[in-house]
Chain A
Amino acid sequence: MLDKLTQLRDRGLEQIASADTLQALEDVRVRLLGRKGALTEILRGVSQAPADQRPLLGKAANEAKKALTEALDARRSALESQETKPGAPSVDFSLPGRMPPRGHLHPLTSLVDRIVGIFAEMGFQVAEGPDIETEYYNFDSLNTPPDHPARDLQDTFFVRPGVVLRTQTSPVQMRVMESCPPPVAVVVPGRVYRVDSDTTHSPMFWQVEGLLVDRGVTFADLKGTIMHFLHRLYGPDVGVRFRPHFFPFTEPSAEVDVYWSAGGRSGWLEVMGCGMVHPEVFRHAGYDYEEYSGFAFGLGVERSAMVLHAIDNIQHFYSGDMRFLEQF
């Protein structure tokens, strides 16, 4: 009886393992464990066995049932998971998936955000001013009175006498200083305008201006701030140099070059202007030049973008051409 049981169990396990559909497996189950199944018959027969064999036989029969039931369950879940997948590979992963909609921020506003972000981390706040400015804020208050030679450098759009399209974001310096006492730490993005148009000049372009005024601000601080900024923007290894230059509203003044390589050519490229705020500017702002000092800086956003992205023509920025915009 025990031998028959062992044989039944082993054969059953074999049949279970070789059942390759759920239906075949179900047939095996019915044959073994169904109401008239072979094992069911044996279990029923245990009560008729001699009393001394009964415990042993009962134990073996239950163990066989357990083994078969477990094997059936395992085989069933294996077959189930197989059957939910159709045989041949029906997903073609080389087909493009459904992309979420992809828009593009304009390279100029992205760069402005990046520049402003770097200065914001250093503690500078964003400030703004109007595109259409008085000559006073754009020139006179910035130590550029009428007939000053520096006015020749910037061909200005006039709206009416005394009112211009600002040629620089610097007038915002004055508006900010007039509105509050030191300390001041602002960064000023915005559109500016000059009568000029070719592949590297646009009559409208973007600048970012910065101003820090407090007690004890030095040219060394200006250098440190600008170098930190340029290393963040152009990379930690970029060469940076400051060379003397002239701006009416700073003294001492400097232009800043980065050593940049692109398209097989490398050299110093001018990227910023800066300097210590001129005493005349403080005078107009009502700041005490003996107590406070400050630095200011400015950069052309288009120019920086053209350097960073190797863009050859400034007019691309304003064309609305998606073949350009989608690259950023």
Chain B
Amino acid sequence: MKISLNWLRDYVDVTLDPDDLAHRLTMLGLEIESIDRPGESIRNVVIGQILSIDPHPDADKLVVCRTDVGEGEPLQIVCGAKNMKPGDKVPTAKIGGVLPGGFEIGRRKMRGIESQGMMCSGKELGLSDDHSGLLILDADAPIGADAVAHLGLDDVIYEIEVTPNRNDWASMIGVARELAASLETTLRLPEFALVESPPEAERLSSVQIENPDLCPRYAGRVLTDVKVGPSPEWLCRRLMAAGQRPINNIVDITNYVLLETGHPLHAFDYQTLNENRIVVRTARADESIATLDGETRALSPEMLVIADATRPVAVAGIMGGAETEVGENTTQVFLESAYFAPVSIRRTARALGMMTEASQRFQRGADPEMARYALDRAAYLMQELAGAKTALGVLDNYPRPPEERRIRLRYARTHAMLGAKPAPDTQKAYLERLGFVAEASDAESCTFRIPTWRHDCTQEADLIEEVARLYGYDLIEPTIPAVRRTERVFAPNDGRLRRLRRELAGYGLFELVGMTFSSSAEVAAVGLSGAYLDMVPLQNPLSENLAAMRSTLLPGMVRAVQTNIRHGRRDVRAFELGPVYRPAPERELPEQTLRLGLVLTGNAEEPHWSRPVRTADVYDITGLIQAVGDYFGASLACAAAPFDAFDPDASAQVTLNGRAIGWAGCLTPAVRKAWDIEQPVFLAEVALEPLLDIPETPVLFAPIPAYPPSLRDIAVLVDQSVPAGALVDAARTAGGKLLQRVDVFDVYTGKQVPAGKKSIALSLVFQSPERTLTDKATQKAWDAILKRLQDDFGAQLR
């Protein structure tokens, strides 16, 4: 909503400077989105009168004018416009004048003739979009006067955001009322004298309401002798200041009164109404209407329409019909001022996809009591500006007047809620200034009757807010509450997950936060199918590739790799910790679980001048998984198993105590190709809930051994197919209690070993808590291990 300060002054005296006014409005809850001073940059533009117009000797499209600017000799101005005649008054920029945008007028020659200024169009002054010719001013405009002030360009336009609860602010009077309350001054409603003349309106028309629940009030007047034509300058200016385009005096008046009172009106061409009467009803099956915007709208039976005897002539509260539109030849007008139920308007406007000034106001709740005032105001303006005669009486059908609402305010309750103590009288005065009517009152409380324009006020808390607003939020002294703690825990895993993220960043990984939207196409693009395609779909997605909630973190991570490689960043080491979703038809809501994703590609570590760079491989991923297991005090195992997204040679299932919780491996070449990635990409995704289920128990201290360990190695040749892990497990069982630790420290295949074989070397730590081990004891355990490796794997000692 655009609020013109000059216009606002019609209703309330404002002495604040424009910035202070903006602050005042802001602190009342009227959020200022922008402040525009349209004439601010204009200098030295005055009202001139054209004395003569002569052809330019050397240019067909130019003329040479002599224009009187009220001082000195008339100015010689070369001009390209055609719409003026001698005697017209026009805004004239003198030499040194400045137009919006900083355009400065200098003395210059145009095709050999000196031009001593410039006469302006509406557009050149920033007044309108009209650039078809000069802006011709009223004949009584004073020559030589400042054009900025004359045109009302010395205005300040506040663009305000009206919150949906305060529809009453979507009007000049509404804003003025608020301001008057805040400034402790009076609101001036326009006073006018509407003259009625015979015949009686009842003899010219009638109003019938079939659905009083949807149309609690419908008031109308019939106007005759209407002369449709352009609106006067002041009216056009005000509409333009509010961002509207003038059309003709009748339409402009309805728009003007809408802006002034917040109450939407509609003018029908009386003679186009069949039987000249109005029926408010819902649409019949198969009815349609051609609306003013040139569209034809199919109507459905729950939509409320304004009809004449035979057909819909307007979509109630939203837009009028084209066939009954007021035009140049209209001489009689049926003027509508109604009140429609918000929900009905909201649903119809949504269904038809129509958002209009009228529908916006009706669906947020207009003021039924304003309907009559707005109707009379518009009829009066038509009387003054279009020569209209108003028929006797109002056709006011008001089957459902609003219930009077009363709310009791306990003054102490205000104190308790705000932590500030405005006195009872002060509280009462605030509300009265806002239009609330104090009725039953005692020392502790007061019952107020709620103004009909305040749909938002339904209980005591709403009155407390009114008091708080006028008291001033900024005057409430801040205090720090004592926050009582309880033994409850609402998010038991929060701390553990936060520390996990830090831990992972400590490993050198970047944290990703991905969109949780995905699509089945994206899932398929990483080679996955089956359960991964069982996604939670959205009914109204932004686009096809964001059509469902993600079922896996993998596509997002592959996309991150693709993005970075495109930017020349080939080394990606990252993780994401976030939710995935799955339909759960038997439950109220889909299932949401937490996953950890890991991705590595390119270098495994930052390059350093002192050493060759190592590229990442699958063991970097499995190592990270081990580290994550360690973080949770668990042992995570990776065992070869096929997974659709991964290369069969490098694909593993991640298990926790035998339970599958995820996958790790190397992206298949086909998927890489589809994403235009040439280098190997290593990925893992594990479910976090099973890990979070592991209780955070304290670590139990193991006594530090008092006797030294005995270190031995063992290196054996085995078949290529034997997994190292099997050798380690066998050694661990064969080594008995003395074997404290087994590590693989070398794996070798090549010239030194026969084909089909590999050499695996294990380091063994023997230790006893009771004594220093003798060589003999160590050797015995070592022999047992060797024998087991020989027996189980046909291992040969190297």
Contacts and interface: CB of A to CB of B under 8 A. Distances in A.
Interface of A: 95-96, 98-106, 108-109, 113, 122-128, 130-134, 147, 149-150, 152-153, 157-160, 163, 165, 176, 179-180, 183-186, 191, 195, 197, 203-204, 212, 214, 216-221, 223-225, 227-228, 241-246, 251-255, 276, 278-279, 293, 317-323, 325-326
Nearest to A228: B480
B21 to A, nearest CB: 15
Interface string B739-775: 0000000000000000000000000000000000000
A279 B459 contact: yes
B610 A98 contact: yes
A127 B27 contact: no
B399 interface: no
A159 B579 contact: no
A241 B27 CA distance: 9
Given A132-B592, A243-B473, A252-B468, A124 B483 contact: yes
A8 B502 CA distance: 71
A245 B31 CA distance: 8
A105 B501 contact: yes
A303 to B, nearest CB: 15
18 contacts: A96-B608, A105-B501, A123-B484, A125-B488, A127-B490, A131-B579, A132-B536, A147-B347, A157-B539, A158-B538, A218-B418, A219-B417, A220-B418, A221-B479, A246-B164, A279-B459, A317-B513, A322-B574
Nearest to A185: B483
A125 B480 contact: no
B266 interface: no
A35 B560 CA distance: 79
Contact of B608 (A98, A214, A218): A98
B564 A320 contact: yes
Nearest to B164: A149
A105 B511 contact: yes
A103 B476 contact: no
Nearest to A152: B164
Contact of A160 (B342, B513, B539, B606): B539
B508 A103 contact: yes
Interface of B: 26-29, 31, 163-166, 342-343, 346-347, 363-365, 416-420, 456, 459-462, 464-465, 468-469, 473-474, 476-481, 483-486, 488-491, 494, 498, 501-502, 504-517, 536-542, 546, 549, 556-557, 559-560, 563-564, 567, 569, 572-574, 579, 581, 588-590, 592, 605-606, 608-610
- Top-9 shortest CB links A-B: A101-B508, A220-B419, A218-B419, A320-B560, A244-B29, A123-B483, A103-B505, A127-B490, A149-B164
B541 A157 contact: yes
B478 A157 contact: no
Contact of A217 (B343, B481, B516, B549): B481
Contacts of B461: 251-252, 276, 278-279
A322 B26 contact: no
Contacts of A255: 31
Given A203-B546, A212-B481, 17 more contacts: A96-B609, A101-B605, A103-B573, A105-B511, A149-B363, A153-B164, A165-B538, A183-B483, A203-B515, A214-B484, A218-B479, A219-B476, A246-B163, A253-B465, A319-B560, A320-B556, A322-B510
B510 A325 contact: yes
Contacts of B541: 157
B473 A254 contact: yes
Nearest to B502: A105
B511 A109 contact: yes
Contacts of B478: 220, 223-224, 227
A113 B476 CA distance: 30
B513 A180 contact: no
A132 B550 CA distance: 12
Which of A130, A197, A255 neighbours the largest number of chain B CB atoms within 10 Å of its CB?
A130
Contact of A320 (B26, B27, B559, B610): B559
B220 to A, nearest CB: 27
Contacts of B346: 147, 149, 152
B579 A104 contact: no
A237 to B, nearest CB: 16
A295 to B, nearest CB: 9
A103 B511 contact: yes
A176 B537 CA distance: 27
A322 B575 CA distance: 12
Contacts of A180: 486, 488
Contacts of B606: 99, 101-102
Contacts of B485: 123, 125, 185
B569 A323 contact: yes
A216 B418 CA distance: 10
B474 A242 contact: yes
A253 B462 CA distance: 10
Given A132-B590, A243-B27, A321-B563, A225 B459 contact: no
Contact of A103 (B486, B506, B608): B506
A157 B538 contact: yes
Contacts of A127: 490-491
Contacts of A108: 513
Contact of B469 (A102, A244, A323): A244
A212 B480 CA distance: 12
Contacts of A147: 342-343, 346-347
B473 A132 contact: no
Nearest to A325: B510
Given A132-B536, A158-B539, A243-B26, A320 B514 contact: yes
